[in-house]
Amino acid sequence: MRYLSLLLLIILQCQVLAQNVLNPKEKKVLEQVMERLTETSEQGIDYSDLQTQLEQLILNKLNLNHATEMDLAALFFLSQAEIKALMQHKKLYGPFLSIYELQAVEGLDEQSWMLLSCFVTVTEANQSDYEKPLEMLKKGTHEMIYLHEQEFQKRKGYISIDGNSNSNYLGSPYREVIRYRFAYNKRLVFGYSGEKDMGEQLGSSPISLFDFNTFYLFYRGKGLMKSLAIGDFQANFGKGLTFGSGMAARKSALVLNGGNFYETLRPYRSVNESGFLRGAAVTLNKNNIGLTMFASSKKISSTLVPDSFSAEGQSISSIALNGLHRTATEIAKRNNSTQQIAGLNLEYVKPNYRMGLVYIVSQFSIGLGSKDKPYQLFQKPESLLQNAGVFAQVQVKNVSLSGEFSRSSNNAFAGFGEVLVPLHSKADFMVLFRNYGTAYQSVFANAFSEYGGCSNEKGIYMALMLKPKNSMLLSVYADFFESPWLRYLVNAPSHGKEYLINAQYSVSKTLQFEFRYKYEQKPRNVSDSQNKMDVLGNRKRQQIRFQASYAFNKELTFKTRLEEVFFDKPGEATQTGSLFFQDVHVKLFHTKLGITTRLAWFDIDTYDARVYATESDVMYNYSIPQFQNRGWRFYVLVHYKLSKKLDVYLKYGQTSYSNINTLGSGLEQINGNKLQEMKVQLRVVL
């Protein structure tokens, strides 16, 4: 907490120049969008990068009258059909006169235009948008954030184990984050973030104070140079099959959001220690032709093993992505190798079509070790990996066709195609085919897939969105996928399927209901004791959800959810999971004080029947805890505007278990049945 006093001193000495904080409506919309994009995930993924992107899009609203399809595609919740509807409306009726005109756009339902209204504006840009860089520095906005996070129970890693420091966490049990950001609209942004995870040490000097440090500078130009990125950034080319860093949308309740194009370059503002590039990139644009070039050289943490066939005498057996450096063993792996990537993207864009070429080359300072597991037979490491791809999108009347085809330097191929067809003004249908070769490799790929990695997968995804009337929305998808070769814990070629039905009904503007059914069937090795070998068996998971949201008035809202999970695997009884929670959100003192609280009860047999549920959190943080075992969880989040210059966030959470007396394992073990955590965040905008 020693940085807290320093930050407060800075705040008290500064005068307010601007306010840049989400209002209650924008916070609610952000939570809705994030929940839609992430709630079908069954993996404990850190989505804070995605949340940060969306928060910045709300704070720097897009001018709808000047927005291109690429600009709108950066809004993850918009489908291609809705983007086309917005562009068509502008073409037919001219510029939007008011944000409320979104209600008249054919193809936008009530939920879509309400969400969109928080991300866009129709106010004409003033002349200050065309200021020179030096003038921007004088007129921009400064944002500073300090976050402190801790747990009240002590984990085993903080307790001395026979005096062996190699077995202990060497740092304090606190997480500390500092962020600084400057922004002049969206034209010029730069900033710095530093993070120390729980158990990590603070450095001895300001330069190495935090375990992870990130800096970014991003400039959007008006002439030949469309954008310039220096420091840490993310790049997405085409549909992300040949190259796409960072988070992209996957299967979700937004069923038509399967394979959107995303913003080519964007600054990296998260403190996740993977999924970004470090170097420089530039996009040049002239006469509908865009050229993006980038180069990145980044230290990575990896496990090195002796290798007599390598010139270095060792090779990389695995790359650490969690960013944790708490023990002597983890610290020894920190930044012990370098990843270098360079590439270019050339594309031609017109209103009704676009096409492009992508070329990427990547190399590690230490070679990747050979993979000797049967399922890794075709994933032979390339010391110098090259990827080349082509992508295209064309609009034929109301039908949109798009896709991407890619080749890696080991002569492996991957590709997919997508067709979006408006069947009716109230019905849209999409089908997406994918075929990713068993040997295809890409250093970064975030195209649509079931397993991630974009290799050893074939599939067909079909989605339908029906809007019988403004108060009703029915979303359905079916995905059939197969792996021509083995996978981890799947010792034979396999196939699976997944279905989702999601129905929303708005009784009024204050009362909404939602029902969801999801079915998933995937193969997995099953022990055959009689023949003493593994055979394939189908693991089936069903999820049923009922949710109701009610706004008593502008200051008091409620959300109730009941969720049931049924998990079956051959030869065993059905495993079940139940989750019930009640959320209450209160705004007081003319919205200066906001309080969100949840009481949740869960009863879950095993890990396979686990349930995830998103939680409200402090700004630029995202929480989606996993529920398992039996017990209760309670949390309260308080957001208070102390003044026009200062926001304070406080979150306290407690999870109590009734059927276990030990939490976690290894160095993360806690002796007891209770976990309490707290976050305190201060934010100032100058």
Is residue 105 over pLDDT 50?
yes
Residue with tokens 């969690």: 322
- Please give the helix or strand (H or E) that residue 684 lies within, else none: strand 674-685
- What pLDDT was estimated at residue 12? 36
Residues 630 and 603: beta-carbon distance below 8 Å:
yes
Average pLDDT, the chain: 86
- Which backbone phi and psi does 528 adopt, to 5 degrees? -110, 95
Give yes or no for a contact between 683 and 646, defined as CB atoms under 8 angstroms apart: yes
Retrieve residue 596's tokens.
């969100």
CA dist., res. 610 & res. 608, Å (int) = 6
Report d(CA 210, CA 193) in Å as an integer.
Answer: 9
What pLDDT does 521 receive? 96
Q: Name the band, by pLDDT with cuts 50, 70 and 90, for residue 46.
A: low
Report residue 436 as tokens: 């990713």
Of the candidate ranges 98-107, 442-451, 525-534, 582-591, the one whose mean pLDDT is the lowest:
525-534
pLDDT surpasses 50 at 49: yes
Q: What is the DSSP letter of 623?
A: B
Tell me what the mean pLDDT of segment 256-268 comes to: 79
Pick the residue with more confidence: 318 or 600?
Answer: 600
- Indicate whether 677 pLDDT > 80: yes
DSSP state of 493: -
Tell me what pLDDT residue 20 has: 53
Residue 434 and residue 168: Cα distance in Å, rounded? 46
Question: Do the Cβ atoms of 569 and 608 come closer than 8 Å?
Answer: yes
Q: What is the pLDDT of residue 99?
A: 85
* Token couple for 659: 């059927």
* Of the listed ranges 18-32, 365-379, 583-597, 656-670, the one predicted with least confidence: 18-32
**Which residues, at least 6 apart from 655, have a Cβ–Cβ distance to it below 8 Å?**
625, 631, 632, 633, 674, 675
The percentage of residues in the chain with a pLDDT greater than 70, rounded to a whole number, is: 89
Instruction: Tell me the CA distances in angstroms from 277 to 206, 271, 365, 641, one per residue in order.
Output: 23, 13, 16, 35
**Pick from 615, 618, 608, 621: which is nearest to 581 by CA?**
615
pTM for this structure?
0.88
Residue 5 neighbours by CB distance under 10 Å: 9
Q: Tell me which residue of 535, 463, 459, 525 sits closest to 496, measured CA to CA.
A: 459
N- to C-terminal Cα distance for the chain?
22
CA distances from residue 218 to 184, 188, 280, 302, 340 in whole angstroms, order as listed: 11, 6, 10, 29, 21
The backbone torsions φ and ψ at residue 128, rounded to the nearest 5 degrees and listed phi first, read -65, -20
Which of 163-167, 280-284, 587-591 comes out lowest in average pLDDT?
A: 163-167
Nearest alpha carbon to residue 325 among 565, 157, 548, 520: 157
Q: How far is the CA of 44 from the CAs of 554, 560, 581, 613, 627, in angstroms?
A: 33, 23, 20, 11, 11
Least confident of 67-71, 150-154, 254-258, 672-676: 67-71
Quote the pLDDT of residue 560. 97
Is there a contact between 646 and 681 (Cβ–Cβ < 8 Å)? no
* Rounded alpha-carbon distances, angstroms, from residue 82 to 464, 502, 587: 14, 19, 33
- Residue 371 forms beta bridges with which residues? none
- Nearest one of 82, 76, 190, 116 to 446, comparing CA atoms: 76
Residue 339: pLDDT band with limits 50, 70, 90: very high
Q: How confident is the model at residue 13 (pLDDT cuts 50, 70, 90)?
A: very low
Pairing of β 225-235 and β 277-286: antiparallel
The length of the chain in residues reads: 686
Q: How confident is the model at residue 206 (pLDDT cuts 50, 70, 90)?
A: low
